Structure 1
Amino acid sequence: MRALWTALAFALLTLFSSGACQALERWETLPEPAPMPPANESGFAKVNGIEMYYAVYGSGDPILLIHGGLGNADIWASQVATLSKTHKVIVADSRGHGRSTRNDQPFGYDLMASDYLALLDHLKIDKTALVGWSDGGIIGLDIAMNHPERLTRLYAQAANVTTDGVDPGVLTNKTFAAYIDRSGKDYARLSRTPHEYDAFLEQISHMWASQPAWTKEQLEKITVPTAIVAGDHDEAIKREHTEYMASAIPGAKLIILPDVSHFAMLQDPDGYSKSVLDFIDGK
């Protein structure tokens, strides 16, 4: 893993020491999230031996938003502002991320899916639509496979189902390196263990080395209405892998978002929210 972080640090250095003065395309930018709106309810749910931060906004049919690896719930601020006008929106920090605690249990997508199901139980939500980004999309797929009765629809953006779906070029991508750097600063600001970012990275990296590892036969058993989504300039997930996922899941809709990358919800927040609502509301 040392080589991974060294490569990302080099890419970040390159970003600020070379052509940073040149105008960037939208998919090369990493905008700051908007401020989160006031929540109807927020707190910490005790689930699976951790304390999981959550917040709830708006009213109506529920939508659960799950962020990606190293991130936190605040990345969804623009989507929360839009979606909560017509839906109850739930966000949370995954275990070890943001304000949520972690323990010595090995990270796994099945465990993280269990955390979110326990959070839904805590909130007395039997069934929800789910929007997942990156690791959040993988968690959504895990729930769709193993607990389809808990989901109405799944919008999985920038997810992968095998480790070879990750583009090795991400190791030297400037935008992704900037995200890694920002995530470290966010961790120091939000976490109860602000000086343990490296230990957290080490722990979660063991999961990324071997997971997910789902077969085509497993994907073919998904019955939840699913959208497989990617930015047309995603720097982390191979396009052919995204297309494979959409073809393997029965009835899945393939959505390619224009002029955005892995960080589509930040680069085009209005377009992203519209895409989510169009799918969730069946338009």
Structure 2
Amino acid sequence: MIRLGLRSVGIAVAVLALVSSAVVANAQSTPRWLTLPDTPTLPTAQQSGHAPVNGVSIWYATFGGGEPVVLLHGGLANANYWGGQVPSLARKYRVIVMDSRGHGRSTRNAEPYGYDLMASDVLGLMDYLKIDKAAIVGWSDGAIIGLDIAMKHPERVSRLFAFAANSDPSGVKDVTKSPVFTKFIARAEKEYEALSATPKDYKRFLEEISHMWESQPHWTESDLGRIKVPTWIVDGDHDEAIHRENTELMAGAIPRTGLLIQPEVSHFSMLQAPDQFTGDILRFLARKWD
């Protein structure tokens, strides 16, 4: 009976090993650009709170010390999405994250969503924190906001890292065909319900943000040519939301710019390859500009 028991245990262990190997192999066979890793958490902030800006309450947090770097998240998301980048960046820089109006822990008013308005919110928070000028790292809507600020208020931007932006609605793909983006929208609803002061308003929030995506921005190559601050236009090689042609158009139109295509990632690069994404930011921030 003892020998039989040991043999049974051995068979069970072998079966479990085969199952585990199959699970790992299946996970490894899924390209990382087709995954949506969990939303990270932010480290403990040196300072955080709500700033009164443009008639709303903007949530923010700051980390580390040194030259200021403002991180701006994408539409429907919140500042927690930068949890994979903040620890490394904060070793050398003063990192500021914020929730855009109506997103995360920030409130909104009756004004319709628009990139000019949200850019004004960023400047208002910088004023509140007594930051005259900062580097901006933006993802998606955050990158568009960064471009808006660099175009219209260049004195406030030292350099701009713009990931997955578009200059015109025609530059956006039909994201309803993307299972990763569909999963993100569902996740964003749960995060909105957990963080927002108006947790039952996600459907209306999604509709209004979607209307902004469909109607803004409308920048010409001449408009983009007004951006004089050092800029990198960045995207993932498998971005499911942005047409590559629009990314290349922006990089070609903006003086003093570089084009960077990150490998094996999509619109959610900072989650799929956080070390790669952070390393690119650090290289950009350390770059010497003529």
- For 2:73 and 2:40, locate their aligned partners in 1 and report how far apart those are by CA, in whole Å: 15
Aligned pair count?
263
Aligned to 1:16: none
Cα distance change on mapping 1:274 and 1:172 into 2, 3 Å: same
Aligned to 1:26: 32
- For 1:197 and 1:209, locate their aligned partners in 2 and report how far apart those are by CA, in whole Å: 18
- For 1:239 and 1:21, locate their aligned partners in 2 and report how far apart those are by CA, in whole Å: 28
Q: Please report how far the alpha carbon of residue 202 of structure 1 lies from its aligned counterpart in structure 2 after TM superposition.
A: 2.1
- For 1:167 and 1:204, locate their aligned partners in 2 and report how far apart those are by CA, in whole Å: 16
* Equivalent of residue 49 in structure 2, options 37, 43, 49: 43
- Give the TM-score normalised by structure 1: 0.91
* Equivalent of residue 259 in structure 1, options 251, 258, 264: 264
Q: Please report how far the alpha carbon of residue 167 of structure 1 lies from its aligned counterpart in structure 2 after TM superposition.
A: 1.4
- For 2:236 and 2:47, locate their aligned partners in 1 and report how far apart those are by CA, in whole Å: 32
For structure 1, the residue ranges without an aligned partner over 5 or more in a row are 1-19
Aligned to 2:166: 160
- The yes-or-no answer on 1:132 pairing with 2:138 is yes
- The yes-or-no answer on 1:93 pairing with 2:87 is no
- The yes-or-no answer on 1:236 pairing with 2:241 is yes
- For 1:66 and 1:213, locate their aligned partners in 2 and report how far apart those are by CA, in whole Å: 20
Give the root-mean-square deviation of aligned CA atoms.
1.2
* Equivalent of residue 210 in structure 1, options 202, 212, 215: 215
Q: Please report how far the alpha carbon of residue 110 of structure 1 lies from its aligned counterpart in structure 2 after TM superposition.
A: 0.2
Q: Please report how far the alpha carbon of residue 22 of structure 1 lies from its aligned counterpart in structure 2 after TM superposition.
A: 8.7
- For 1:282 and 1:109, locate their aligned partners in 2 and report how far apart those are by CA, in whole Å: 28
- For 2:123 and 2:73, locate their aligned partners in 1 and report how far apart those are by CA, in whole Å: 15
Q: Secondary structure at the match of 1:114?
A: helix
- For 2:163 and 2:219, locate their aligned partners in 1 and report how far apart those are by CA, in whole Å: 17
Aligned to 2:286: 281
What amino acid maps onto 1:119 in structure 2?
L
For structure 2, the residue ranges without an aligned partner over 5 or more in a row are 1-25
- The yes-or-no answer on 1:176 pairing with 2:174 is no
Q: Greater CA radius of gyration, 1 or 2?
A: 2
- The yes-or-no answer on 1:113 pairing with 2:115 is no
Listed one character per residue, the Cα deviations across residues 156-201 of structure 1 (whole Å, up to 9, x for unaligned) are: 0000000000012x22101111100100000000001100101112
- For 2:178 and 2:206, locate their aligned partners in 1 and report how far apart those are by CA, in whole Å: 19
- For 2:215 and 2:223, locate their aligned partners in 1 and report how far apart those are by CA, in whole Å: 17
- Give the TM-score normalised by structure 2: 0.89
Listed one character per residue, the Cα deviations across residues 206-256 of structure 1 (whole Å, up to 9, x for unaligned) are: 222210001111111110100000001100001111011100101210001
Q: Secondary structure at the match of 1:132?
A: strand
Map 1:54-65 → 2, pairs under 5 A? 54-65=60-71
Q: Secondary structure at the match of 1:259?
A: coil
- For 1:70 and 1:90, locate their aligned partners in 2 and report how far apart those are by CA, in whole Å: 19
Aligned to 2:254: 249
Listed one character per residue, the Cα deviations across residues 97-154 of structure 1 (whole Å, up to 9, x for unaligned) are: 0000011101110000000000000000000000000000000000000000001100
Aligned to 1:9: none
Identity within the alignment, % = 57
What amino acid maps onto 2:211 in structure 1?
H
Aligned to 1:11: none
Equivalent residues of 2:41, 2:81 under 8 A apart:
no
